[in-house]
Amino acid sequence: MCSLEKRGNLFILTLTGKNVEHRLNPEVLSSIISALSRAKAESTRGSALVTVSHGKFFCNGFDLDWVNATGSKQEAQQRFDYSLDCLTQLVQAFISLPMPTVAAVNGHAAAAGVVIPLCHDYVVMRRDRGVLYVNDLEMGLKIPELYMAFFRAKTSGWALRDLVLRGLKIKGEELLKMGIVDAVYDGEVGVTNAGMKMADDLARRKWDGEVYAEIRKGLYSEFCGMLGIASKAIGTPKL
């Protein structure tokens, strides 16, 4: 499902999900949420989290085998909706994590799988392999209002249109130009190391984690507003 390792100040979350495509079902999502809880519990000033994955895929979306392994279309829809609710809980956990977060995208991220790298503060991606693919339009699915707000928090203008309204499989270089990823690197080792180095550099700023999380939530204000997540004012500056 996933594993969490601590290396100095760095929490390293490795996504394994279900099978080589690292697919997401409620069990997988639950285990990632637990890992993030552990990271939160052990966090100090100077902590940072990097999420990595290995192989051809970063995350290819929901476990549709699990969704469809039911007796009726209605039950399948229920399983899908439940998966989406679990994903939303995971996004909330990432958004409230009291430390900087970096996603090192080694391979393809599609459908619900696109949301995972995007709920990190920074995304580094492979240049030579892997695409981000929001495929709702291709599947004839409307994107839920909540997730439109999520995408609008990450990008705007024509880049937003290209991300969700064009059925594009977008490579690292293009995503860099669109401002959706922060840097691209060659090879899985290249991108993973770069992700860890970036997280290390951010950790060295020794930001107050609680303040960091509150400021971050403000960047997702529309999304948080829809979920009724309140913000805290923290007003004792360290001068």
Partner 1 sequence: MCTLEKRGNLFILTFTGEDQHRFNPNVIGSLLSLLSQVKAEATRGSALITQAQGKFFSNGFDLDWAQAAGSEQGAAERLHHMVDLFKPVIAALLSLPMPTVAAITGHAAAAGFVLALSHDYLIMRKDRGVLYMSEVDIALTIPDYFNALFREKIGDASVRRDFLLRGLKMKGDEAEKRGVVEAAYGGEAEVKQASVRLAENLGKRKWHGEVYAEIRKGLYPQLSAILGLTHKAYTIARL
Looking at the Cβ atoms of 73 and 142, the one nearer to partner 1 is 142
State how far the Cα of 94 lies from the Cα of 81, in Å rounded to an integer. 20
Candidates 50-58, 190-198, 207-215, 224-232 — which segment interacts with partner 1 by CB under 8 A? 224-232
Amino acid, res. 197 = K
Residue among 74, 145, 230, 236 that touches partner 1 (CB under 8 A): 145
Closest distance to partner 1 from the beta carbon of 142 (Å):
5
Phi first, then psi: what are they for 51, rounded to 5°? -105, 125
230 binds partner 1 (CB under 8 A): no
Residue among 6, 7, 38, 161 that touches partner 1 (CB under 8 A): 161
Candidates 93-101, 153-161, 187-195, 206-214 — which segment interacts with partner 1 by CB under 8 A? 153-161
Number of CB atoms found within 10 A of residue 19's CB:
11
State how far the Cα of 26 lies from the Cα of 49, in Å rounded to an integer. 22
CA atoms within 13 A on the CB side of 52: 22
Residue among 33, 146, 153, 211 that touches partner 1 (CB under 8 A): 146
Closest distance to partner 1 from the beta carbon of 69 (Å):
22
155 binds partner 1 (CB under 8 A): yes
Closest distance to partner 1 from the beta carbon of 31 (Å):
18
Residue among 7, 8, 69, 158 that touches partner 1 (CB under 8 A): 158
CB of 186 within 8 A of CB of 179? no
Q: Looking only at residues 85 through 144 of this chain, which bind partner 1 when binding is defined by CB under 8 A?
A: 85, 88-89, 136-138, 140-144
Window 65-84: contact mask with partner 1 (x via CB under 8 A): ----------------x--x
Closest distance to partner 1 from the beta carbon of 107 (Å):
24
Question: What residues make contact with partner 1 under the rule CB under 8 A?
Answer: 81, 84-85, 88-89, 136-138, 140-146, 148-149, 152, 155-161, 164-165, 167, 225-228
